[in-house]
C-alpha cells in the first residue's frame, strides 16, 4: 500500500458489485449510519429475468425504503401449483399451496430484475452515508487495519470490511483465496416475459418435466414470466426460435392453461450451474449473493438467499459497531459466516436434489419425489412448516426480515 489514507477517509464497509444483493447491502448499512462505499456500474442485463421476492425479502426492501417504487410492477404469488409432467408411474395430481394457509396474502411478489435494481439504485443515490463509485474494481488488497480496493478509473477506496457482491464469477472471491466447489447441469433456462389470453389468478405454476421445471410466475395484468429449464439441446433449439415460435412452444408446454401466449419482453438463455464456497468470509472480506452461492432457478430461492446474506451482514456489522469492534475482524464476521453456510447449504441441497430427481428418470427416485410431495400436500402441519421454511428460515432470520410481533 502506498500512502496510508487519513482515518476519516476509511469507510467502515465497501461493497463491490451493484447488482441487487450489493445495492441492498450498501443501503442497509448506510441507512443505519455505517459509512459505506458502493463500487460498481449500473449494468442491468436485459434477459427477461424476474425475481419472485418472498415475504421476508419484501419486508427487507420496505426497510430499505425501496418497496414503494417496486410494488406497482410486482405481481402477488397467492398460490403455488406443482404439476407433475414427467410421465412417471408415480405421478400425482396437481398439488396446490395457498399463502392464506400460513396467514399471508402472498408467498411473495414477482418483479422484473431490472426494475428491482433500478429502484434500489434510485434509493442509493439519495441515501446519506453512502458514496457511489461508478467504476469497476480492479483489485483488492487486505491489510492489517483496513483493505484497499483499486478502481478502473484510478481511484482507491479504503475500508475496514470489503463486501464481495460481484456475482458468480466474483474476482474478489478469487483474490481472497476462498475455495469453491462448482459444477454444471446438462441444462439451460429460457427466460422471457409473456402476455396471455387467460388470467393467471395470482397462481404460479411449476410443471416438473424430464428436462427440468417449466415455471410460469404471475406479473401484474395478464402477463407472466417464464423460466423454462430444459436439456441443453432443447434449450438451444428454443432459444433459436423466433418470438412467435417460442410463444407457440410455451403455449403447448403449458397445456393451454393460460390460453395463447405472446412474447412481451426481452429473452435470455442461462446455462445451469452451481457453486458453493468453503466459507463466505476471509480476512476483511465477506461474500454475499451469487459471489457466495449459485444454483438453478427452482423455487425462487437464489436472490432471496442473497438478500438474506445482505440483511444478516447488516446485523453483524451493526452489532460490531455498537460494541466498538472492528467490523472487518474475524470475531465480527464469525456468526455471519456460520449462519450463511447453514442457510445456503439447505437451499442449495434441496434445489439440487429436486433438479437431479427430475433428470434421473428412475422409478425409485420418482417414487421418492412423489412420496415427498404427497406427504407435503397431505400432512397439514408438515405442509405448513415447509411453506413457512420456504418463505423464510425459522432459525436466525435477519432482524429486518422478521414479521412484527
Ligand atoms: C432464470 C433465472 C431465474 C431466477 N429467478 C429467481 C427468483 O424468482 N427468485 C430469486 O430469489 N432468485 C432468482 N434467480 C437468482 C437471481 O437472479 C440471482 O440470485 C441474482 O440475480 C444474483 O444477484 P447478485 O447481486 O448476487 O449478482 P449479480 O446480479 O450478478 O450482480 C453482480 C454485479 O457485480 C458486478 N461486478 C462484477 N465484477 C465487478 C467488479 N470487478 N467491480 C465492480 N462490479 C463488478 C456486475 O456487473 C453485477 O452488476 C434466478 C436466476 C435465474 C438464472
**Triad 301, 307, 308: Cα angle to 5°:** 85
Q: Give pLDDT, residue 88.
A: 65
pTM, 2 dp: 0.93
Alpha helices (runs of H) in 254-329, residue ranges in sequence order: 302-322
| pLDDT string in tens for the chain (405-residue length) | 556 776 658 999 999 999 999 999 999 999 999 999 999 998 878 888 999 999 899 999 999 999 999 999 999 999 999 898 877 666 677 888 899 988 989 999 999 999 999 999 999 999 999 999 999 999 999 999 999 999 999 999 999 999 999 999 999 999 999 999 999 999 999 999 999 999 999 999 999 898 899 999 999 999 999 999 999 999 999 999 999 999 999 999 999 999 999 999 999 999 999 999 999 999 999 999 999 999 888 877 899 999 999 999 999 999 999 999 999 999 999 999 999 999 999 888 888 877 777 776 666 566 666 666 666 666 666 656 666 766 666 677 899 998 876
191 close to ligand 1 (CB < 6 Angstrom): yes
> SS3 letters for 98-163?
EHHHHCCCCCEEEEEHHHHHHHHHHHHHCCCCEEEECCCEEEEEECCCCEEEEECCCCEEEEEEEE
- Give the residue among 213, 246, 248, 244 at the shortest CA–CA distance from 230: 213
The rounded Å distance from CA 293 to ligand 1 centre is 10
Residue 340: is it exposed, middle or buried by C-beta count within 10 angstroms (0-12/13-18/19+)? buried
189 close to ligand 1 (CB < 6 Angstrom): yes
**Domains in the chain, CATH or no CATH each:** 7-182+272-401 (3.50.50.60)
Strand, helix or coil at 23?
Answer: helix
Q: Give pLDDT, residue 371.
A: 62
Q: Give pLDDT, residue 382.
A: 61
165 close to ligand 1 (CB < 6 Angstrom): yes
326 close to ligand 1 (CB < 6 Angstrom): no
250 close to ligand 1 (CB < 6 Angstrom): no
Residue 383: φ, ψ to 5°: -55, -45
C-alpha cell, 299: 423455487
Amino acid at each position: 500500500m502506498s500512502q496510508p489514507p487519513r482515518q476519516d477517509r476509511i469507510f467502515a464497509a465497501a461493497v463491490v458489485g451493484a447488482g441487487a444483493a450489493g445495492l441492498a447491502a450498501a443501503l442497509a448499512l448506510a441507512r443505519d449510519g455505517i459509512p459505506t462505499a458502493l463500487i460498481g456500474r449500473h449494468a442491468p442485463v436485459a434477459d427477461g429475468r424476474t425475481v419472485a421476492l418472498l415475504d421476508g425479502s419484501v419486508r427487507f426492501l420496505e426497510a430499505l425504503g425501496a418497496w414503494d417504487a417496486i410494488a406497482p410492477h410486482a405481481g402477488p404469488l397467492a398460490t403455488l401449483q406443482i404439476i407433475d409432467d414427467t410421465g412417471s408411474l408415480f405421478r400425482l395430481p396437481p398439488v396446490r399451496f395457498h399463502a392464506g394457509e400460513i396467514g399471508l396474502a402472498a408467498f411473495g411478489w414477482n418483479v422484473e430484475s431490472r426494475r428491482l435494481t433500478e429502484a434500489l439504485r434510485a434509493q442509493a443515490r439519495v441515501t446519506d452515508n453512502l458514496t457511489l463509485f461508478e467504476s469497476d474494481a480492479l483489485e483488492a488488497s487486505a491489510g492489517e487495519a483496513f483493505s484497499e480496493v483499486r478502481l478502473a478509473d484510478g481511484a482507491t477506496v479504503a475500508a475496514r470490511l470489503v463486501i464481495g457482491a460481484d456475482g458468480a464469477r466474483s474476482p474478489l472471491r478469487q483474490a481472497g483465496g476462498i475455495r469453491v466447489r462448482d459444477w454444471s447441469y446438462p441444462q439451460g433456462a429460457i427466460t422471457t416475459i409473456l402476455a396471455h389470453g387467460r388470467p393467471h389468478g395470482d397462481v404460479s405454476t411449476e410443471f416438473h418435466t424430464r428436462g427440468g421445471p417449466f415455471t410460469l410466475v404471475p406479473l401484474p395484468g395478464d402477463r407472466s414470466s417464464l423460466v423454462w429449464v430444459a436439456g441443453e439441446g432443447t434449450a438451444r433449439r428454443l432459444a433459436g426460435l423466433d418470438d412467435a415460435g417460442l410463444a407457440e412452444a410455451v403455449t403447448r408446454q403449458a397445456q393451454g392453461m393460460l390460453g395463447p401466449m405472446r412474447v412481451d419482453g426481452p429473452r435470455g438463455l442461462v446455462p445451469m450451474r452451481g457453486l458453493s464456497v468453503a466459507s463466505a468470509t476471509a480476512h476483511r472480506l465477506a461474500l454475499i449473493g451469487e459471489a457466495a452461492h449459485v444454483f438453478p432457478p427452482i423455487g425462487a430461492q437464489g436472490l432471496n438467499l442473497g438478500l438474506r446474506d445482505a440483511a444478516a451482514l447488516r446485523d453483524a456489522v451493526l452489532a460490531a459497531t455498537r460494541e466498538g469492534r472492528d467490523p472487518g475482524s474475524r470475531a465480527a464476521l464469525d456468526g455471519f459466516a456460520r449462519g450463511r453456510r447453514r442457510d445456503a447449504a439447505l437451499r442449495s441441497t434441496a434445489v439440487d436434489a429436486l433438479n437431479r430427481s427430475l433428470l434421473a428418470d428412475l422409478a425409485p427416485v420418482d417414487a421418492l419425489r412423489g412420496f415427498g410431495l404427497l406427504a407435503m400436500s397431505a400432512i397439514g402441519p408438515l405442509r405448513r412448516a415447509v411453506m413457512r421454511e420456504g418463505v423464510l428460515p425459522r432459525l436466525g432470520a435477519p432482524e429486518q426480515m422478521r414479521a412484527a410481533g
